Amino acid sequence: TMKSLAFLALLVACLACADAFAPAGIPLLARSASSRAFSTPIGHGLAVNTLRPAARASPLRAQRTAPRMAISLPADKPLKVGICGATGAVGKEIIGVLEKRGFNVGELRLFGSARSAGREVETKFGKVTIEDFDLARARELDVVFVSVSGDFSKEWCDKMAEGDDGTVVIDNSSAFRYEKDVALCVPEINADAARKGTRKVIANPNCTTAIGIMALWPLHKKYGLKKVLMSTYQAASGAGAEGMAELFDGAKAVVDGPEGTVAPNKHFAHPLPFNLIPHIDVFQDNLYTKEEMKVTWECQKIMDLPDLPVSCTSVRIPTFRAHAETIVIETEKPINPDEARKLLAEAPGCVLVDDPKGLKYPMPLTASKAYGVEVGRVRQSVVFGEKGLEFFVCGDQLLRGAALNAVLVAESLMQPVGTDFAPTL
């Protein structure tokens, strides 16, 4: 028995030694598979499966073996930038944000579907030809913005990012938001979560969360959040270009048709024109929808308040762009509405629009295509009294909720750990 134990100990020691001198981050038995995978040609289109998948380490193993690192992008040189899903609604907005913010792009690669590959796009960085997604070419870049689908992100993001020579990947899907070792980042709030990450994949939050949290965070820092109650009024474009087309075509059918005409519905659960639908995403066991629970989970993770009670009701409304939200908070400390207005007016990413006498308040009409989140209707809560506040916010979900936030995450990586990120918008 003693000899058997000694032999086992020796075997374990040999395996540990072999693993220690192998390339970091790849399990011993997976290395040959990984090498083959990266040399395999990729087929056409975004959602391709011709790449032989490398064996993937379990999350537990990844957390155990990943070195503590700082994720950064150089601020003093032009960057090689890629966009996956460049022809989609968010992809187009990312290009626009890079242009308007003067992002230091040295080379821009646009990855699209097989249908759009070969088409040329005019940008401020020059004429760019859309190409099929290619893993090897993506890994040559400094940062890649991904806005395709959760399935695409799960298949490719880690492969683009893994290793010391991997690229920084900023993903707009929900694929990684709730993974413990992936930063879920709104950079004005938690830039260091991304900078101190152990994986080069960084998750962008749900658009509803990204808009509301811009006002919640400065209020929490001063008064302490105790409870958050939210109702959201979300535009058709939250369901993509198809949702916007269904709203437009349906509204036209109702207006042009005989009295009593009801618009057809395909992408929404019910006709959206001249209607409201209190149902976004699938219902959960607790009878909240997944969209509503995303707000809870993501507010807790981004603000690092895992026990904060957050309740949300999400409603689809017949507008094309910009989400609106009613927010009611209970705070730990007494909160004065005038002080809160001043705080919100000075908060990064917020624009105070609060003049009831002048009929000025946040609206989709004024918030669409704007970078700042409008905040208004600020008042003392009649439910929670001196420790309660109610207000209304409105923000462009394609920008603050997606493209703008993603680009700001990249900008925040150009600053050192510990630096407050307060961009000029």
207 is catalytic: yes
d(CA 325, CA 318): 15
> Do the Cβ atoms of 180 and 414 come closer than 8 Å?
no
Amino acid (one-letter) located at 241: A
Cα Rg for the chain, rounded, in angstroms? 24
d(CA 188, CA 182): 17
Out of 207, 312, 350, 394, the active site residue is 207
What pairing do the DSSP bridges indicate for beta strands 126-129 and 79-84?
A: unpaired
Q: Check the CA dihedral 252-397-331-304 and report its sign.
A: positive
d(CA 191, CA 73): 13
Out of 185, 299, 312, 323, the active site residue is 323
What pairing do the DSSP bridges indicate for beta strands 143-146 and 323-331?
A: unpaired
- Structure-token pair, residue 194: 């991304």
- At a CB cut-off of 8 Å and minimum separation 6, what does 223 contact? 331, 332, 333, 334, 335, 340
Query: DSSP for 405-423?
Result: HHHHHHHHTTS-TT-----
Query: DSSP for 169-203?
Result: EEE-SSSSTT-TTSEE--HHHHHHHHHT-SSSEEE
| Residues marked as catalytic | 207, 323
